[in-house]
């Protein structure tokens, strides 16, 4: 019986194996097996959005601070600094989280469907300069480092001067730097550096918080600490006091609590018009907010744009240092970038306060990367007259 069973099994095994081989052969041809296709790609430059060294939007990485000669036209620059934060720490890891988020944001390619352009093929060179070396131990030193490094890049010659932003103060074209933070205190050394080239600038500050608080609001400053006077809630106070700003500045998205009603009086002294978050709920919605921004900020003077991801509701950005409920949506922020910044003389931007250790599924990093891509695209479109 065992012999008969073996024979019977053997009798069935041969045709079954042949059938399996036939099916496998047919399937291999269907999926393009290399056995039947000698034209497969071995291009070593081919890559996928999930592979390779992480740079922002898969841009070339250049050691900008170590090179001499003309720099590229638009520079992505990380500011891994968070020791001036007043609440959650960890935004020093923000630059790399935004770079990682840009993998998903450029999943299908680099053509910007929202703005109907590929910003990277417009004869305007864009690179990722990596991160600045910033001390995490001494804030006074860190602020000096940020200003000095930024200034060194800002004063370099650029590759496409005919399409750049020309300074009436220096008579030349300077690179546009897209800074990725880091906590919001990085805006102050950036504005100090920009002042050497452009003089006073107007600021579009998109945030849940005013960031013009008097240093006396912060506990360390009340105790007499000079270093504590420079924090993530004071950059625009100091920018106003140091004469870095015009009187045509905008806060957009404000909704956080205040120390007192006097905070807004001081804010007005710094030259800011405030658009609270609830303006978005009015009948004209995002278009009303855009109109208010454009009514305040001059179109022919230097403008700096600062985007704090906590301007969004925490539902969209759980990984941020200062969450505040009742914020905007990514769609509304993107529309402000596309239409609110159209035609403006933007001399620099920052995207700040991404805190990846509290993020879920990279949604904050992806949102920040999307905003950065839209900002870069808007810079390019403004340069070429779109």
Question: Which residue ranges make up the annotated binding site?
Answer: 184, 207, 209, 211, 308, 310
Question: Which residue in 100, 10, 64, 72 sits closest to 364, CA to CA?
Answer: 100
Measured between alpha carbons, how far is residue 31 from residues 28, 34, 43, 340 in Å?
Answer: 5, 9, 20, 48
| Chain-centroid distance, C-alpha 178 | 7
Q: How far apart are CA 353 and CA 274, in angstroms?
A: 20
Name the phi and psi angles at 74, rounded to 5.
-125, 125
Query: Under a CB-based contact definition with an 8 Å cutoff, are residues 143 and 230 in contact?
Result: yes
Residue 310 has which token pair?
Answer: 């906590």
Q: DSSP E strands: which ranges in the chain?
A: 74-79, 126-131, 165-166, 173-174, 176-181, 202-206, 249-254, 272-276, 302-308, 345-352
Q: What backbone torsions phi and psi does residue 181 show, to the nearest 5 degrees?
A: -95, 180
Q: Which residues are known binding-site members for Mn(2+)?
A: 184, 207, 209, 211, 308, 310
Which of 156, 168, 189 minimizes the C-alpha distance to 75?
A: 156
Q: How many residues does the chain have?
A: 386
Q: Which residue has the tokens 């009436």?
A: 168
């Amino acid at each position: 019986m065992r012999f008969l069973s073996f024979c019977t099994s053997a009798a069935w095994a041969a045709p079954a194996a042949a059938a399996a081989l036939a099916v496998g052969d047919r399937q291999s041809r269907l999926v393009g097996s290399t056995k039947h296709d000698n034209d497969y790609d071995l291009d070593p430059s081919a890559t996928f959005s999930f592979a390779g060294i992480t740079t922002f939007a898969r841009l070339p990485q250049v050691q900008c601070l170590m090179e001499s000669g003309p720099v590229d036209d638009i520079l992505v620059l990380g500011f891994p600094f968070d020791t001036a934060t007043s609440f959650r720490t960890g935004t020093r890891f923000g630059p790399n989280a935004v770079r990682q988020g840009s993998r998903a944001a450029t999943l299908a390619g680099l053509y910007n469907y929202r703005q109907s352009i590929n910003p990277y093929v417009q004869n305007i060179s864009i690179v990722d300069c990596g991160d600045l070396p910033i001390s995490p131990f001494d804030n006074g030193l860190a602020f000096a480092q940020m200003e000095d490094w930024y200034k060194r890049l800002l004063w370099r010659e650029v590759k496409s001067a005919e399409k750049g932003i020309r300074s009436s103060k220096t008579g030349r074209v300077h690179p546009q730097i897209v800074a990725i933070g880091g906590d919001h205190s990085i805006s102050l050394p950036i504005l100090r550096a920009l002042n050497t080239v452009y003089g006073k600038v107007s600021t579009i500050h998109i945030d849940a918080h005013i960031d013009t608080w008097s240093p006396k609001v912060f506990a360390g400053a009340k105790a007499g600490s000079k270093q504590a006077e420079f924090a993530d809630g004071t950059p625009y106070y100091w920018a106003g006091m140091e004469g870095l700003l015009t009187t045509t500045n905008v806060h957009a998205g404000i909704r956080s609590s205040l120390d007192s009603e006097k905070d807004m009086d001081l804010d007005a002294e710094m030259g800011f018009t405030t658009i609270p978050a609830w303006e978005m709920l009015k009948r004209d919605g995002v278009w009303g907010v855009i109109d208010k921004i454009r009514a305040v900020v001059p179109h022919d003077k230097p403008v700096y744009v600062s985007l704090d991801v906590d301007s969004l509701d925490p539902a969209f950005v759980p990984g941020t240092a200062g969450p505040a409920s009742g914020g905007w949506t990514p769609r509304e922020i993107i529309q402000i970038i596309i239409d609110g910044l159209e035609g403006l003389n933007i001399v620099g931007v920052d995207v700040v306060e991404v805190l990846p250790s509290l993020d879920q599924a990279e949604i904050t990093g992806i949102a920040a990367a999307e905003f950065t891509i839209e900002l870069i695209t808007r810079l390019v479109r403004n340069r070429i007259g779109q």
